[in-house]
Chains A and B, each alone.
Chain A
Amino acid sequence: MIPEASSIAGHVDIIFWSLVGLSVIIMAIVGALVLTFAIRYREGTKAYRGPLPEIMSREFEISWTASTLFVALFIFWWAASSQIPQFIIPKKALEIHVVAKQWMWKVQHPDGVREINALHVPLGKSVKLVMTSQDVIHSFGVPAFRIKQDVLPGRYTSTWFKATELGDFHLFCMEYCGTDHSRMLGTIVVMKPADYARWLATQPHHEDLAGEGARLFTALGCSGCHGPSARVPAPSLVGLYGREVALADGDTVTADEDYLRTSIMRPEAQVTAGYQPVMPAYQGVASEEQVVALIAYIKSMKAGRSQMR
């Protein structure tokens, strides 16, 4: 059997096995009726074959229509409402960035540790995955956790889990992505928090994500316009993350990770109100991993109190 290794796995399985139970019951009813009728009313038996009893017409139709509808709506309500917590990602979750490409998984931990085709996570801690693809659509699926989320090029998708069992679990690419789709595998290693901390410490450390982003911010030329001493009129990035941004076309967007990514890759797509669209596109210049680091840096530019509303 497949382990129930995440906080939601048990809930999913309860619905799954209830549906199995329902299916068995309905199959048994239909099967028993068909079999009984088939034997009782086979050609040549003396069973009574007159008109149907009065009750067997509209009343039957209406009652089984109503009861199927009731059962269907009940399952919908149950399944949909138990999915709602999965839609809401815990605020304090450990944020891991995943970049998928043909045919590997690249993982960036917040403190700069990187992995390929593996993801080490601590037991019992919520982990948020922020994912994007460098090429085609992939899908991050961990059957033992009962989670799956398509990983799209050009935007971030997220999901989260809380591992509840120690061990190694399969990570599959679940959306067909070309030649080596079936080799785009990985391992999720769930460790005790202490072991995880020890493991992190032994990994070759790059700078943490925000630090790497700060370096890239200069290296890629961003600071020339967005830096504190820039002469060019460019929107300030301090405290930008999470804020509402008014756009030149009159629209307003929340400066989330998707917005920041688009604004780096294709700045002409969403121009901030009051600024000229002069920023060069970084599509093809900055890699997805670099963009992840840049966003981490932008997120770290907290506004000083004086600038707060």
Chain B
Amino acid sequence: MTDALRDDDVGLLARRPAERSYLTAGTTLWSWLSTTDHKRIAILYAIGITFFFFVGSAAMAVIRLELFTPQGDVVSADTYNRLFTLHGVVMVWFFLIPSIPATLGNFLLPIMIGAEDVAFPRLNLMSWYLYLIGGSITILALLLGGVDTGWTFYTPFSTLYSNSYVMIAAMGVFVVGFSSIATGVNFITTIHMLRCKGMTWMRLPLFVWAMYTVSLVLVLATPVLAMTMLLIIAERLFDFPIFDPRTGGDPVLFQHLFWFYSHPAVYIMILPAFGVVSEIITCEARRRVFGYQFMVYAMVVIAVIGFLVWGHHMFVAGQSPFASMVFSFLSFVIAVPSAIKVFNWTGTLYRGTIRFSAPMLYALGFLGLFTLGGLTGLFLASIPVDVHLTDTYFVVAHFHYIMVGGSVSAFFAGLHFWWPKITGRLYSESFARFAAIILFFGFNFTFFPQFIMGYLGMPRRYHEYPPEFQVWNVMSSTGAVVLGIGYLMPLFYLAYSLLHGDRAPANPHGATGLEWSIPSPPPKHNFEQPPVVFTEPYAYHGWKKAPGGAIATRQDQHEEEGG
């Protein structure tokens, strides 16, 4: 992928850009490791999260194998506990949270607002190194023998009773938190300061809005996580009496601190997915986003209320009934903006010209899985139902529908949608569509049975289980095989496209948005000259939103009735 890349563009030879693509502007390893180009940092992050995704998935494979039978016959109880902890820690902090913001966000955000780079390019590189250091520390904890606290690090188990490498893992999470904060600060500043001429707030693509809201949450929530991890280390290492009830500490205090971060963290994982899916549905339906402003407000409201619902994780933890009532109420309220988004995506399809490309299939899959994930959230917001369902597989299924069915589907959707832009290559469309369908069914096969076994009472984090749950676990484990195939396929056809794929034109999807106005892959400094924006986003058709029936002629209406 060197000069041939540009020489292919025969028609454009005369006015080929003076600048090389970001991929070929410097080919040494050092040029990558010392880059401050947001696009290269995105690639560095992508390599990191891919690695961790497969580490986390490997742990999941052993877990599902173990759960195939009721007896604990594959690994020991201690190993099992370490595996699900590893799966959670790695997937949450080293894959899901950085997945969309740090890869697609880093790559696209500056281009989408017409900027040359993020506001603080060096901070951006530093955030990747922090991620690398945090990841290495966590891998070290894994290699030494792992952690057995669950990703939630509940005290006093984690501080006083666990004989595993809790401190090292907590340190890894502490460090990686700062990479999140750095990214958040960078994005907020970039969006405020570096929008090109004409790019007003209400002209921002929804993906940028998603990055903006998620950055706010990252910056405001992550410090609490960092603090909480330090408190764990302080109690474990120096016997600071914080969570130990024998010295007057309160173990439930930890849960408040932890969920004050970790519930917003759910929105850190899902808000970027909203952004990706909005871009793809509007483009592949050739239709303006239905209710752009409502989409924006919904994301802002979710980001704000997301901070006020953490107590719904603690209905049975011994918190006051009054607190439970308030948290239940707010959890129901936050369902509203989420529902608005689902309805608006559906509305965007109305009167569109829908193409079922691979990104669109992933995005539609997201729509279904996220809706079901959201609806099952209502079960867990209802106190009496939550008392029965919490800490069972119902919860496991619920958050996997949101985080995996939602976020990961959206990440794959975005990865495919912008792959031609990022790499300059086209992947095999038929393989990609096939993988999207496999992923959708594999996901449901894996996680839907978990709703049922959760309702029947199967507890989470069980190495062995009563035999009556086996039938559901077998279904789930079998489904996981299909899901695994769905995840592995893109690895192969996307890698193949890097070497043998057709060259991508600048705008293969015919999409609006500044990122499609520059060559694929983009030149090092994105734009030859600063762009100017004159229109609202998503001008996929001439008329603006709902100008009234007056424009639709009688002839049109007749056609509608006929067709």
Contacts and interface: CB of A to CB of B under 8 A. Distances in A.
B227 interface: no
Contacts of A283: 246
A47 interface: yes
B385 A19 contact: yes
Contacts of A33: 346, 349
A150 B321 contact: no
Contacts of A61: 291, 294, 340, 344
Contact of B384 (A2, A12, A27): A12
A304 B349 CA distance: 78
B441 interface: no
Contact of A174 (B78, B336, B355, B459): B459
Given A34-B349, A143-B457, A148-B391, A137 B563 contact: no
B336 A41 contact: no
Majority SS of interface residues in chain A? mixed
A194 to B, nearest CB: 29
A79 B339 CA distance: 20
A152 B354 contact: no
B562 to A, nearest CB: 8
A294 B94 CA distance: 50
A179 B81 contact: yes
Contact of A54 (B162, B247, B355, B548): B548
B375 A22 contact: yes
Nearest to B548: A54
Contact of A148 (B343, B388, B552): B388
A6 to B, nearest CB: 11
A51 B552 contact: yes
B400 to A, nearest CB: 16
A16 B379 contact: yes
Contact of B352 (A49, A147, A183, A265): A49
A148 B408 CA distance: 32
Contacts of A75: 332, 378, 382
Nearest to A147: B387
A154 B247 CA distance: 9
A224 B161 CA distance: 35
Interface stretch (A81-89, A90-98, A116-124, A208-216): A81-89
Contact of B461 (A54, A157, A176): A176
Contacts of A102: 161
Contact of A16 (B318, B342, B388): B388
Contact of A182 (B291, B321, B465): B465
Q: Give chain B's interface residue range (CB within 8 Å of chain A).
A: 35 or more
Interface string B50-80: 0000000000000000000000100001100
Given A51-B551, A173-B459, A38 B154 contact: no
A275 interface: no
A230 interface: no
A68 B336 contact: yes
A41 B391 contact: no
Interface string A259-295: 0000001100100000000000001100000000000
A142 B150 CA distance: 22
B375 A182 contact: no
A125 interface: no
Nearest to A64: B343
B350 A178 contact: no
Contacts of A41: 285, 349-354
A170 B458 CA distance: 10
Interface stretch (B12-20, B215-223, B364-372): B364-372
Contacts of A150: 316-318
Interface residues of A, number: 87
A149 interface: yes
A2 B148 CA distance: 31
A78 to B, nearest CB: 8
B354 A42 contact: yes
Nearest to B247: A266
Interface in B481-540: none
Contacts of A236: none
Contacts, number: 280
B351 A31 contact: no
B464 A155 contact: no
Interface string A47-89: 1111111101100110011001100110110011011101100
Given A45-B563, A48-B556, A179-B81, A60 B383 contact: no
Contacts of A172: 457, 459
B456 interface: yes
B332 to A, nearest CB: 4
A144 interface: yes
B551 A50 contact: yes
Contacts of A45: 563
A43 interface: yes
A245 B348 CA distance: 64
A49 B542 CA distance: 11
B387 A181 contact: no
Contacts of B552: 50-51, 53
B460 A56 contact: no
B251 A56 contact: no
Given A16-B455, A37-B352, A75-B332, A146 B387 contact: yes
A153 B367 CA distance: 43
Interface in A156-201: 157, 170, 172-183, 185
A57 B250 CA distance: 51
Interface in B327-346: 328-329, 332-333, 335-336, 339-340, 342-344, 346
B385 A72 contact: no
A59 B244 CA distance: 55
A83 B342 contact: no
A181 B463 contact: yes
Contacts of B349: 33-34, 37-38, 41
Contact of B546 (A51, A72, A76, A84): A51
B527 to A, nearest CB: 31
Contacts of A73: 332
Contacts of B329: 76, 80
Nearest to B391: A174
Nearest to B557: A48
A23 B317 CA distance: 27
A287 to B, nearest CB: 13
A225 interface: no
A37 B556 contact: no
B407 to A, nearest CB: 19
B77 A180 contact: yes
A56 B391 CA distance: 42
A52 B160 CA distance: 62
A179 B351 contact: no
A30 B366 CA distance: 13
Contact of B246 (A34, A147, A154, A185): A154
Contacts of B339: 64, 68
A248 interface: no
Contacts of A8: 384
Nearest to A34: B346
Contacts of B247: 266
Contact of B375 (A26, A52, A79, A154): A26
11 contacts: A33-B346, A41-B349, A48-B560, A54-B546, A60-B347, A61-B344, A68-B340, A76-B382, A136-B161, A149-B318, A175-B154
The 10 closest A-B pairs by CB, nearest first: A154-B245, A143-B457, A79-B382, A48-B560, A57-B546, A37-B349, A182-B462, A174-B391, A23-B375, A72-B332
Given A30-B367, A43-B355, A144-B457, 8 more contacts: A2-B457, A41-B351, A54-B550, A75-B378, A136-B161, A137-B154, A137-B156, A139-B391
